[in-house]
Amino acid sequence: METLFLSAQDPQTAEKAAEILKHGGLVALPTETVYGLGANGLDGDAVLKIFEAKGRPQDNPLILHVAQPEDIREICDPIPETAWRLAERFWPGPLTMVLPCRPSVPRRTTAGLDTVAVRCPRTPITREIIRLSGVPIAAPSANRSGKPSTTTAEHVRHDMEGRIDAIVDGGPCDVGVESTIVDLTGPVARLLRPGGVTPEQLRDVVGELIVDKAVTSQIDKDAVVRAPGMKYKHYAPQGEVKIIAGPREKAAAYIRRQFQDGDAVLCFEEELPLYEGCNPTAYGKESDTATLAHGLFAALRDLDRADIRVIFARCPEGGGVAYAVQNRLRKAAGFQIVTEDQL
């Protein structure tokens, strides 16, 4: 299949992309989080193509994207009052809500669950494409399954050229990590995945928030989990990722002792001088954690090479968006962490 490249600047792009989606095709779309691989979320055959193009296991459900908050009425029922309050505060934006699903949503989209994940993204061209297509758009991250998510159209081209109908180039994604996912189907709101909307911001609206254990630990591959995607290996470059925690100088001394030819270091900009000769890549500033979220996947993709054996990674501490960065890096590392007392 030949993949069409469309610029978000071109006034005809929205129409063209919507036409492809209406006819059951696949279009990669820019969002403020990462690039999504979109298809008509109400068409089971179109949705199947997403799983095939990504090589995604079919028990990993998709997020449905809507052009405006009210449109979730067509796919969710009942909708709790908390959902509207969250939508009011954070939509359009990097928040996904899991809600009870209407029977009209194909089982392929929800992987057979009776709940569905929904989000209204912020990027205007993508909202316009969804509006023109007239249906909710199922869109997981536009990467090959298991690989780091795509945050530029070039990343999408690398993973998906020849496998999908079109790529809409809207420039680099703003946030850089996938949406926050909150499950609202239980008595208490539950965080399934941290993202651009922070736990602190969520608590401000919902009060109590449980953090699901899949956020902080490795889930057994046979386990039944609330967000089935969480049990799969994620974001992983070919080399082994090891997180080295602890203070800057102590961690650097440890890494320099362990470092062998063919290894790499993924660190903060402030730390670059400590890793001369150790093949360092900085993914952002520790003093500005939004830059870490923004740069993480591009850096992991750069380091996704067969000749790199071990990637020693530095991970930010604390809450806010750093919490999402920690989660993605821990997953990339299969939760392998060398803690301060082991340095």
d(CA 27, CA 168) in angstroms, rounded, equals 7
CB nearer to ligand AMP: pick between 138 and 265:
138
290 close to 318: Cβ distance less than 8 angstroms: no
DSSP 8-state class, residue 179: P
Within 13 Å of residue 146, how many CA atoms lie on the same side as its CB?
9
Q: What share of the chain is helix, strand, coil (3-state, %, to 5)?
A: 35, 20, 45
Report in angstroms how near the CB of residue 15 gets to ligand AMP at its nearest. 25
Consult the annotation and say whether 115 binds a ligand. yes
CB nearer to ligand AMP: pick between 34 and 282:
34
Consult the annotation and say whether 119 binds a ligand. yes
Does position 116 interact with ligand AMP (CB under 6 A)? The reply is yes
All residues at 6 or more sequence positions from 80 whose CB lies less than 8 Å from its CB, including other chains: 99, 184
d(CA 244, CA 234) in angstroms, rounded, equals 19
Contacting residue, 42, 117, 175, 325, with ligand AMP by CB under 6 A = 117
Contacting residue, 115, 289, 291, 326, with ligand AMP by CB under 6 A = 115
Within residues 272-331, the interface with ligand AMP by CB under 6 A covers none
Consult the annotation and say whether 314 binds a ligand. no
Report in angstroms how near the CB of residue 63 gets to ligand AMP at its nearest. 5
Q: Which two tokens stand for residue 74?
A: 């067509």
Stretch near ligand AMP under the rule CB under 6 A, chosen from 225-233, 265-273, 279-287, 303-311:
225-233
Consult the annotation and say whether 327 binds a ligand. no
CB nearer to ligand AMP: pick between 6 and 177:
177
d(CA 338, CA 336) in angstroms, rounded, equals 7
Cis amide bond preceding 78, omega within 30: yes
Does position 140 interact with ligand AMP (CB under 6 A)? The reply is yes
d(CA 243, CA 224) in angstroms, rounded, equals 27
Q: Which two tokens stand for residue 287?
A: 């003093």
Contacting residue, 38, 61, 148, 239, with ligand AMP by CB under 6 A = 61
d(CA 283, CA 111) in angstroms, rounded, equals 34
Q: How many residues bind ligand AMP (CB under 6 A)?
A: 19
Report in angstroms how near the CB of residue 61 gets to ligand AMP at its nearest. 3
DSSP 8-state class, residue 73: G
Q: Which two tokens stand for residue 291?
A: 């830059």
Q: Which residues bind Mg ion (CB under 5 A)?
A: 141
Summarize as ranges the residues that interact with ligand AMP (CB under 6 A): 60-61, 63, 98, 110, 113, 115-117, 140-141, 178, 181, 192, 226-230
Q: Which residues are annotated as a binding site for ATP?
A: 56, 60, 115, 141, 149, 193, 235
**Binding site per annotation, positions:** 33, 56, 60, 65, 115, 119, 139, 141, 149, 179, 193, 235
